[in-house]
Amino acid sequence: MKSVVAYKWARDPEDAAVRSDGTVDWRGAKMTAGDDDPAAIAVATTLAAGAGATLVGLTIGDGDATWALARGIESAVSVPDAPFLADNAATAGILAAAVRSIGDVDLVVIGDAEAYPGVAAAIAGILGWPALLGVSEAAFADGRVVAVRRMGASEQTVDIGLPAVIGAVSASAEKQAPGMKEVLAARRRPVTAIPLATLGLAALDRVRSRATSVPETGTARIFDGDAAASATQLVAALRADGVL
C-alpha cells in the first residue's frame, strides 16, 4: 500500500504580474509551498505510519522535491514539464495521472489551498474516489481514516474508507521547519521524473483564457460633518444615484 502527498503543486498568486491592460503574466511565479502544505505533510505522515504504508511525495513543474524530502518523505516523484497552469481541472488531471502512474496508491493527501479550491475535489472525481476536505488532523484506525475538520464554530469527526483523497488545512503555522542538515541530506536523495508524455497528457488546453481586464473602480465620496449630517448627505447621494 502507498500513500501520496502532493506539495508545491500551485503557483503563488502574489507572484503573478498584473499589467496595466489587465493581462496576467505568470512567468515569474514558481511552484511554491502553500500555507496548507506543511499540514498535508503532517497528516500524510501520521496516516502512512498508522497504515504501515509507504509515503511518496508528488510535485509538478518547477516544484522543489527537497522541500518534502527534508520533512521525512521517503521518496519523491515529479512531473517537471507540467506547464504554467491556472486551471484547477488541468492541474488535478496531472496530479491524478501521476498518482495512477505511481501505482498501488490508496490514499492521496493534498493541501486544501484557498487559491485553488477545486483541485482536491477534482482529483477525487478523476480517480473515482471519495474526498474529505477541510481536515485539520487525522489518524488511521480499523482500516479507515478518522479525521477532524472544523464546521463553522464546531468540530466534526468523521471516518472514511480507502481509497480516498484527503484535503488538509493548517490549524497553525509549521511548528518546526527542517534545518540545513536535513535539507542537505534531502538533496542527495533521488527524485523520479515522469514526463507528461508518459502520463498520456499531451493536450492540456481544454480551458483557454480569452482575456482579462482590470475591474472598473467607482469614484469615492467622503461626507464631512457629524453623524447626522453625514447620514443626510449619504441618503441624498443614494437618491440622486437612483439607489433609493
Q: Which of 179-183, 204-208, 210-214 has the highest mean pLDDT?
A: 179-183
Residue 191 lies in a domain: yes
pLDDT band at 86 (very low <50, low <70, confident <90, very high): low
Report the share of the chain in percent with pLDDT over 70.
93
Residue 67 lies in a domain: yes
- Between 122 and 19, the more confident residue is 122
Q: Would you say residue 127 has pLDDT above 90?
A: yes
Dist. CA 144–CA 164, nearest whole Å: 10
Computed over every residue of the chain, the mean pLDDT equals 86
- Between 216 and 17, the more confident residue is 17
- Between 151 and 167, the more confident residue is 167
CATH of the domain at 162: 3.40.50.620
Residue 231 lies in a domain: no
Q: Would you say residue 107 has pLDDT above 60?
A: yes
Q: Would you say residue 202 has pLDDT above 70?
A: no
pLDDT of 44 reads 94
Residue 7 lies in a domain: yes
Number of domains in the chain: 1
Q: Would you say residue 83 has pLDDT above 60?
A: yes
Task: Name residue 1's amino acid.
Answer: M
Q: Would you say residue 204 has pLDDT above 90?
A: no
Q: Would you say residue 177 has pLDDT above 80?
A: no
Residue 225 lies in a domain: no
Residue 229 lies in a domain: no
The predicted-structure confidence for 8-18, as pLDDT tens digits, reads as follows 998 888 888 88
Q: Would you say residue 216 has pLDDT above 70?
A: yes
Residue 127 lies in a domain: yes
Residue 15 lies in a domain: yes
Q: Which domain does 30 fall in, by range?
A: 2-199
Q: Would you say residue 157 has pLDDT above 90?
A: yes
Average pLDDT over residues 101-121: 90
The predicted-structure confidence for 163-174, as pLDDT tens digits, reads as follows 999 999 987 767
Alpha-carbon Rg of the chain, whole angstroms? 22
pLDDT band at 226 (very low <50, low <70, confident <90, very high): confident
Beta bridge partners of 58: 6, 77
The predicted-structure confidence for 38-69, as pLDDT tens digits, reads as follows 999 999 999 999 888 899 999 999 888 899 89
